[in-house]
Amino acid sequence: MDELHIGLVGLGRMGRGLGGRLHRAGIRVTGVDPSAEAREEAGNVGIDVSDTIETLVERIPRPRMVWVMVPAGEATLAAMTRLAHLLDRGDRVIEGGNSDYRDSVRLHEQLAQRGIAMLDVGTSGGILGQEAGFALMIGGSDRDVEAWRPVFETVAPGPDRGWAHVGGPGAGHYAKMVHNAIEYGLMQAYGEGVALLHAAGDLDVDVTEAARAWRHGSIISSTLMDLTAAILADGELDRVRPRVDDSGLGRLAVQTAVERGVAMPVITQALIERIRSRDDEGLSARLLAAMRGRFGGHAVPTADPDPA
């Protein structure tokens, strides 16, 4: 494994964690990122840093192996397009962002025409992945997966766990889309459950202790439950604004479910709740209150006057 030398495009939290994990296993990593801060932090975990993608490609031995870990969408497409013109026939590239699986299918076809072998790898693990390992969902051919096997076995939590070849081109990011959709549902359920604990009133339930008990031996134990217990224990909720963004994969999952005729009520509602949390104006709720007043004579709550 000492002879492996991987190029890494994107040195953000995920890319840096992935590169650091490879470096500790004795795999040489050369990375690039437009952020000077990201490049400096990557150097601190043993990643060699290049100034440009062109320089990175020059420094990687043939046949080259390059892993792209940049934000999904335009950034990923731009990086893959540049690499398509820099790499040679026989080189290999991984697209590891949270990408639209349909884009991945197109990229596979475009790179194959140039003789460049691509894998789409849905990657999960967040900032904890550098130590615990990353879960990998891989799409592409058996031959290409085998060529990357030593890398996957190192990046994953273990050589025989946490990574899988889930199908052909696009399948890796399709599986990651579903993974993120399930994550939406789990997070929503944990949030609602904790809210109900808080509403226990005179039962005086210790919410933090209940979450701590659920971490071990419980059917609902998970990494997300570990994080929930930690958040409750350190009082972080008092400092958090009730607004939840979404990265886009949850929306794509709901759209795909509708297109394919798959019922996903829990995940769809979780997405709607995230969108609702961003309605600072509360227009729909204010209209409902006003309608109740008009047709039923119910009291209508009034907004506080503008302190300005």
Dist. CA 308–CA 220, nearest whole Å:
47
Burial of 172 (0-12, 13-18, 19+ CB in 10 A): buried
The catalytic site residues sit at 176, 183
Dist. CA 154–CA 137, nearest whole Å:
14
CA nearest neighbour of 176 among 119, 259, 107: 119
Dist. CA 204–CA 207, nearest whole Å:
9
CA nearest neighbour of 163 among 222, 126, 122: 122
Cα angle 15, 18, 21; round to 5: 145
Tokens representing 206?
């210790």
Residue 33 DSSP label: -
Dist. CA 60–CA 65, nearest whole Å:
8
Asked if residues 155 and 164 have their Cβ atoms less than 8 Å apart, the reply is no
CA nearest neighbour of 29 among 52, 54, 11: 11
- Give alpha helix (H) positions in the chain: 13-24, 36-44, 53-59, 74-86, 101-113, 129-132, 142-155, 171-198, 207-214, 223-233, 249-260, 265-277, 283-296
Dist. CA 59–CA 6, nearest whole Å:
10
